[in-house]
Amino acid sequence: MINLQCKLLIVTFDEIDILQEIKTRVEDYLGCVVEIKTSSYPKARMRFIQLNAADFLPLLISLRTDYDFVLGIVTADLYLPYLNFVLGLAHPQESVCIISLSRLRSSDEEQYIDRAVKEAIHELGHLLGLEHCNDRCVMRFSNMVAETDYKEDKYCNKCLNLLEK
């Protein structure tokens, strides 16, 4: 566990069945206080459409007031104007990030939770100043779910050392 002692707000837009599991694991690993808020973004309820990840950033920034970091979680698939899809997006300067569960789903619930936790800890790592890592570390870039499964759910020692600086 990393003793960050920070306050993290998780923002959801619709029902997320594994939300409590994600919250508990992120809380336990990062050692921060996590609160959950449901916000409205009508289109985010539509699981099968694709939304521009960047469109969520102003809303997440507006909710950051009492928190160190904000993590949005959507069930919709996300893209960026220059990428067909993204699993997540971080805006380190504003301390907000977002992940999509759309491509992480699995019939194995433990695997689904693991994937979501990895992507959440990855994007939060960017907010903590970490960049992509080539080790089998949670900061390894994943563009496909197989790559998410390959990496560990933790920061490697090299990344941890950077965090301590």
| 94 is a catalytic site residue | no
The candidate with the shortest Cα–Cα distance to 102, out of 42, 38, 50, is: 50
Grouping H, G, I as helix, E, B as strand and the rest as coil, residue 18 is coil
- Please list the alpha-helical segments (H only) found in 9-108: 19-30, 57-62
- The CA distance from 112 to 134, in Å, is 23
Residue type, 43: K
CB atoms within 10 A of CB 157: 10
CB of 126 to Zn ion, least distance (A): 6
CB of 142 to Zn ion, least distance (A): 8
Nearer to Zn ion, 7 or 154 (CB): 154
Nearer to Zn ion, 26 or 133 (CB): 133
Nearer to Zn ion, 15 or 164 (CB): 164
CB of 15 to Zn ion, least distance (A): 26
Catalytically annotated residue among 21, 35, 110, 123:
123
Please report, as ranges, the residues that interact with Zn ion according to CB under 5 A.
Answer: 133, 135, 137, 139, 156, 159
**What does the block give as tokens for 97?**
């990030």
For the annotated catalytic residues, the residue numbers are 123
